[in-house]
Structures are given as C-alpha cells and as structure tokens.
C-alpha cells in the first residue's frame, strides 16, 4: 500500500490516468484499484491489484525512447511469456512504452539473496538457458559495442564528457571487439540486462522481467552481466557456469565470460551517464557511472583479462 499520503495521491493520479487507456481497466473506479509503487531505476512501475488479480503497470522513464526499441520489446516480451520465462503481457502501447503485465508472485532477487542461497546462481543460470533456448526469434540485435557508440553520440549531443581516461580504456576494449568478431558466437535470444532485481524467484524456478534491452546476442553477455551485477566470486561463477553448461564449461567459455565482464562495466557506465544527463534522479547515476568505469579499468589490467583475451584470440 502507498504510505506517504501526498506521494500516494500523486502516484495514484498518474497510475490511474494511465490505466484509463488500458481496455482491461477502462471504466473502473479508483476504489476498485489498489495501487502500490514498485522499485525501478529508469521507469515508473506500480503493482495494481483489483478483484483478487495483480498486475504491473510500467510507465517509461524520460529519454528511454532514445535507446529502447519498444516494438522489439513488446515482441520479445510476448515470446518470453509464451516460453514460460517472462510475465504475461496484458497491454503494450509501442507509441509511448506503457505496459501492463501479470504480477509474478515470488521473491525479487538482490545480491543478498544470491549470497544466502548457494543454489541461486545455478537456478538463475538455468533460467537464462531457457531464455537462450527460445530460438532465434527475438527482434533487435543487441551489440554492446554499437550501443556504447550510440551512448557516446547521445552524450556528445548533450555536451556531457565521458569519464576521465575513457578513451584509453576504450582502446584496450577495442582488442576485445576485434577478438570476438574473429571468433563470433552463435547468437541466441538474450535478456541483455539480467541484474538481480530482474529475476523473480518463485521457489521452483526463476522468471525474468523487464525485456527492454532484449534481442539477439552472445549468450555469455547475459552470464557476464549477471556475474558482475550480483557481485559473484569465483565459486559462484563456477556454480553458474557448471549449471549453464551441464558441467561442460570450457576455457573459451570462461574467457568469453571475463571479456564480457569488462565490456559490461564500460557499457553500463556510459548508459548511466546518459540517464544522469536525462535528469533521472531516482538514483545517483553519475556516481554509478564512475564506479562501473573504475571497475572496467581495474579489470582490464588483471592477468585474468590478458589470459582470456589470448584464449579467445
């Protein structure tokens, strides 16, 4: 339930106005709806309960249309739901990004859950494998390097400089781009943003929500992103990789994981700067961008990174 009376009223007004455009809710009185804000970094999300049924209303954040293909998101979200790895989509307006989905009852994961439950990395890996096994049916091709180029263009247009020392790091990561292009992976349907809160654990399986960045990609991007965002150590990486490959992880697969970890750090650093430049105040995106950049710079100086680059080459 909404707790702050003033904020409750504002949230209720905003959500109620949006729900008025959704056929399922059209004509319903305010008293028929229970509206509860949900956490989100870039969008506004609400749990909507009525007549014993629960839904999630997602209103897109400012500026997200600059880098999100809403048509592809709708298509991929519906495919994921049909495959049993995502929430059922009740309504989607590609013109403005408003979406209503079924609420999945379960635990929203975070780093603490992954550490408290030793089997969680393996369950998450199996969830990602189900996503990757959907087949080559997702719309949009997610390329982290291309996205970084796009983010830089957006930042230049807003006269926002990248982090100090960025171009030296970018030059180092160019060797990763070249190595991966020489030995490209078979593309699969990928979530592309599997940070912990996008996993819902029902106890029997993991579901994924928020398919904004979904598209065809190298599956090891998803695994690397999860590892970095959840703060996995070597043991959790091993559990994740063992579950994902049924114990058949190779030197090359671990090497791709390491290279994508560094790439993920730089990619999300630039993304966060764009969010900061767009005036998103739900989170300290500027500090987050610097942390991710510093993590990337530290990662590319490690022996593991050099060995991984050599192995993929």
Q: What is the pLDDT of residue 6?
A: 35
User: Encoding tokens for residue 197?
Assistant: 């809160």
Is 85 in the same domain as 138?
A: no
Residues 71, 160, single domain; the answer is: no
On whether both 210 and 295 belong to a single domain, the answer is: yes
SS3 165: coil
Q: Looking at the structure, do residues 73 and 205 belong to the same domain, yes or no? A: no
| Claim to verify: residue 34 and residue 161 sit in the same structural domain | no
199-201 and 107-108 beta bridge pairing = antiparallel
Among residues 102, 129, 145, the one where a domain terminates is: 102
- Whole-angstrom CA distances from 201 to 47, 86, 123, 124, 221 are 17, 12, 9, 9, 21
Q: Are 200 and 104 in contact (CB under 8 A)?
A: yes
pTM of the entire predicted model: 0.92
Q: How many domains would you assign to the chain?
A: 2
Q: Within this chain, do residues 23 and 133 fall inside the same structural domain, yes or no? A: no
**What stretches of 83-218 show up as alpha helix (H) in DSSP?**
111-116, 120-132, 144-157, 166-182
Q: How far is CA 227 from CA 18, 217, 240, in A?
A: 36, 17, 9
The boundaries of the domain holding residue 43 are 5-102
CATH number, domain containing residue 216: 3.90.1200.10
d(CA 281, CA 301): 33
The residue from 60, 84, 102 where one domain ends is 102
Together in a domain, 51 and 122? no
Q: Residue 9: what pLDDT? A: 55
33: alpha, beta or left? (left if phi > 0; alpha if psi -120 to 50): beta
Within this chain, do residues 273 and 172 fall inside the same structural domain, yes or no? yes
The answer on 136 and 35 residing in a single domain is: no
Residues 153 and 172 in one domain: yes
Q: What is the pLDDT of residue 14?
A: 85
- 168 with 297, same domain? yes
For the chain (313 residues), the mean pLDDT of every run of 10, in chain order, is 44 85 91 90 92 96 89 98 97 96 96 93 96 95 95 95 95 94 90 96 92 97 97 96 97 96 97 93 93 97 94 88
Cβ neighbours for 107, distance < 8 A, ≥ 6 positions apart: 113, 200, 201, 202, 203
CATH number reported for the structural domain that contains residue 31 in this entry: 3.30.200.20
**Of 71, 102, 133, which marks where a domain is finished?**
102
Are 185 and 302 in a shared domain? yes
């Amino acid at each position: 339930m909404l707790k702050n009376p003033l904020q409750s009223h504002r949230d209720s007004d905003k959500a109620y106005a949006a729900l008025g455009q959704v056929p399922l809710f059209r004509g319903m009185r305010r008293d028929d709806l229970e509206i509860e804000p949900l956490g989100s970094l870039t969008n506004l999300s609400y749990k909507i309960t009525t007549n014993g049924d629960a839904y999630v209303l997602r209103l897109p954040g400012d500026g997200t249309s600059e880098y999100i293909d809403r048509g592809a998101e709708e298509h991929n979200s519906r495919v994921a739901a049909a495959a049993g790895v995502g929430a059922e989509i009740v309504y989607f307006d590609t013109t403005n990004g408003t979406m209503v989905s079924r609420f999945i009852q379960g635990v929203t994961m975070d780093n603490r859950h992954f550490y408290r439950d030793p089997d969680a990395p393996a369950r998450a890996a199996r969830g990602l494998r189900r996503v990757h096994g959907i087949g080559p049916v997702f719309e949009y091709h997610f390329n982290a390097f291309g996205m970084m180029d796009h983010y830089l263009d957006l930042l230049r247009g807003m006269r926002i400089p990248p982090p100090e020392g960025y171009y030296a790091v970018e030059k180092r990561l160019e060797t990763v781009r070249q190595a991966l292009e020489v030995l490209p992976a078979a593309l699969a349907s990928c979530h592309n943003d599997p940070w912990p809160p996008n996993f819902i654990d029902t106890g029997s399986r993991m579901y994924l929500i928020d398919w904004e960045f979904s598209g065809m990609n190298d599956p090891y991007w998803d695994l690397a992103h999860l590892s970095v965002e959840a703060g996995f150590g070597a043991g959790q990486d091993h559990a994740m990789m063992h579950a994902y490959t049924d114990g058949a992880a190779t030197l090359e697969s671990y090497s791709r994981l390491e290279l994508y970890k560094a790439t993920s750090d730089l990619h999300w650093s630039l993304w966060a700067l764009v969010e900061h430049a767009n005036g998103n105040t739900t989170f300290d995106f500027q500090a987050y961008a610097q942390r991710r950049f510093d993590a990337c710079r530290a990662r590319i100086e490690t022996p593991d990174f050099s060995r991984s680059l050599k192995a993929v080459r």
